Amino acid sequence: MTTYPVIAPDADEFVRHRPMLLGLAYRLLGSVHDADDVLQDAYLRWTGTDRAAVTQPRRYLTRVVARLAVDQLRARRARRESYVGEWLPEPVATDPGPFGAVDTSDLSIAVLHLMEQLTPPQRAVFVLRSAFDLTYDEIAGIVERTVEDCRQLHHRAERALRDGRARFTPTPAEHRRLLGDFVAAAREGDMTRLHSLLHADVVSWSDGGGRVRAALRPIRSASKVARLFAAIYSRQPALRAVPLEVNAAPAMLIMYPRSRHLLVLDVDADAIRRIFLLANPDKLGAVAGAPEISWAPAPDAAR
């Protein structure tokens, strides 16, 4: 269960900006749990501040949250070496979402996963500029770098992410159809159909965190990924599935009698290029409360 900071009745400005601040911290950290910790710390600092002297509360709180998140990013990099297997961002349900009226185009699991390759300052500058449209002057004050440094950090971040991002994003309906087709084909063990849905260079990442069984390394190529998911899903007669919107994109919560995982696809045009299987139960708290339904392939999925 996600916990949130206890907000005092007189903390109106913090309450007003909280959804935006949560969205900022989550984009920087890729974890709702860590973002909550940052907001708790930011709130404590806010209550200890002479608020009458703060002329721009939104800017002040943005600076505090960004700095706390960057500090946590640096500390987390040192701890990441002990994580078992691949670390994937923590998913969050976004229908409705907890982040308010903010652009969600960069909230996808795929984009957050790509941002893991950035340094903490690069990630902070990229998020503040691309998602929140702050000026470089504002960002420089937040990350304590020069304006020119911030321009360079943003340029390097964009260059690092460019090749990994989808060029042609499908509509939500097309994305849902492809997701349903993929699960149906894997359930039926239809290798021909699976191959037709996958990009030749598809990569599948799994995150079990050492808590549940999961692939420790990425699985690459259409043939290997098709065999993997056919083996996982076709041998589970009691499998149940729930379509969800997670991180502003279609996803599927896959449930077995004793476990569950979240399936997320990154789609470019009409082919699946990346698959994210999130099985670490510590990361499913924000999506695990969805209602269960029996799996029934859509008419156009059972081909």
Contact 204, 226 (CB under 8 A): no
Domain ranges within the chain, ordered by starting residue = 1-82, 172-283
Which residues are CB-contacts of 198 (< 8 A; sequence separation ≥ 6)? 222, 225, 226, 271, 272
CATH for 172-283? Answer: 3.10.450.50
Place of tokens 């030749």: 200
89, 94, 98, 101 alpha-carbon torsion, rounded to 10°: 120
Return the pLDDT at 38.
Answer: 96
> How far apart are the C-alpha atoms of 89 and 108, rounded to whole Å?
9
Q: Is 254 helix (H, G, I), strand (E, B) or coil?
A: strand
The answer to pTM > 0.85 is yes
Specify the DSSP class assigned to residue 294: B
Contact 150, 136 (CB under 8 A): yes
Per-residue b/e over 123-133, b at no fewer than 16 CB within 10 Å?
bbbbbbbbbbe
Nearest-CA neighbor of 88 among 247, 258, 200, 255?
Answer: 247
CATH class of 1-82: mainly alpha
> How far apart are the C-alpha atoms of 234 and 190, rounded to whole Å?
9
pLDDT tens-place values along the chain, 303 residues long: 444 444 454 468 899 999 999 999 999 999 999 999 999 999 999 999 888 888 889 889 999 999 999 999 988 877 777 889 999 999 999 887 888 766 677 889 999 999 999 999 999 999 999 988 889 999 998 888 999 999 999 999 999 898 777 777 889 999 999 999 999 999 999 999 999 999 999 999 999 999 999 999 999 999 999 999 999 998 777 788 889 999 989 999 999 888 899 999 999 888 999 999 999 999 998 785 544 434 333 333 333
| 1-82 and 172-283, same CATH topology | no
